[in-house]
Amino acid sequence: MHMFIQGSAPLASAGELGWLTKALLGVTLGSVEWVLWLLVVLSVASVAVMLERGVFYWLRSLRGTAELFSLLANAQWEKAKALLKGQKGLEANTLGVGLSLIKANPKTAEENMSAALAKGKIGFERYLSFLGTLGSNAPFIGLFGTVLGIIKAFHELGKTNVQGADMQQTIMTGISEALVATAVGLAVAIPAVVAFNIFTRALKSRVGRTQALAHLLLGGMGQHTTPEAPSSAEATPGEAPMGEGKMGEGKMGEGKMGEGKTA
């Protein structure tokens, strides 16, 4: 048994790698620093998106929310228009469309406000998909760099004749350098995920507030809409036309006159 193991070792070491394995090994043995540079670039882009989205959301915040609810509940349309003047948030744009159609049919106003809300959401959702994608995939990019670093560390170890403590030091040094990529990937992903959740939650709150204000506006429009008067051609059931009553009375008079002639 011992002789079989000794004889098989040279065969295993003498076996050559396939051409595909050699090609992939040549790619993976390159420098891992490009992964770190990629993560740094993505991190800078992520910070830029966070700042841009933060300023965008802040400039489009609704001012006087409680007062606006009160004005719409009391059907004070002109004061509501004055309050929304100069504001350009999601709520202001949507309600501005509804207030401009205050004398129109409530169904028409509702459809136009729904269209304005859908259009406004596009601007608030811009670049959020980048933050979500980066937060989900940055750790995997860092892990990819770590795997490449470990492959390179073991390959370099196989080409050197070190033993004992020197071998352990060489392995630990290579692995520690490779794990830097994973740490950088997590450092890029965590802020992106947090920012994505914050902006998504803020957008949901704005959409809910806009829908509540729109329903309040539509309710006031429905209460203050004057119903159309019924057509004069429509006859009310159970009531005879005035002309027929007079005609009946005339016939009754004719009958009385005939009775007098007979007498």
The pLDDT confidence band at residue 72, using thresholds 50, 70 and 90, is very high
Highest mean pLDDT among 1-5, 47-51, 144-148: 47-51
Structural domain total, the chain? 1
Does residue 242 lie within any of the structural domains? no
Does residue 96 lie within any of the structural domains? yes
Residue among 100, 84, 81, 89 nearest 205 (CA): 89
Does residue 58 lie within any of the structural domains? yes
What is the per-residue pLDDT for 214? 94
In angstroms, the CA 257 to CA 159 distance is: 139
pLDDT at 202 exceeding the cut of 70: yes
Does residue 248 lie within any of the structural domains? no
Determine how many CB atoms are found less than 10 A away from the CB of residue 213.
22
What is the per-residue pLDDT for 165? 62
What is the per-residue pLDDT for 32? 78
pLDDT tens for each residue of 220-248: 887 665 444 444 444 444 544 444 444 44
Host domain of residue 48 = 28-223
What is the per-residue pLDDT for 163? 62
Does residue 180 lie within any of the structural domains? yes
In angstroms, the CA 217 to CA 101 distance is: 11
DSSP state for residue 227 in the 8-state scheme:
P
pLDDT tens for each residue of 104-159: 888 999 999 999 999 999 999 999 999 999 999 999 999 999 998 888 877 777 77
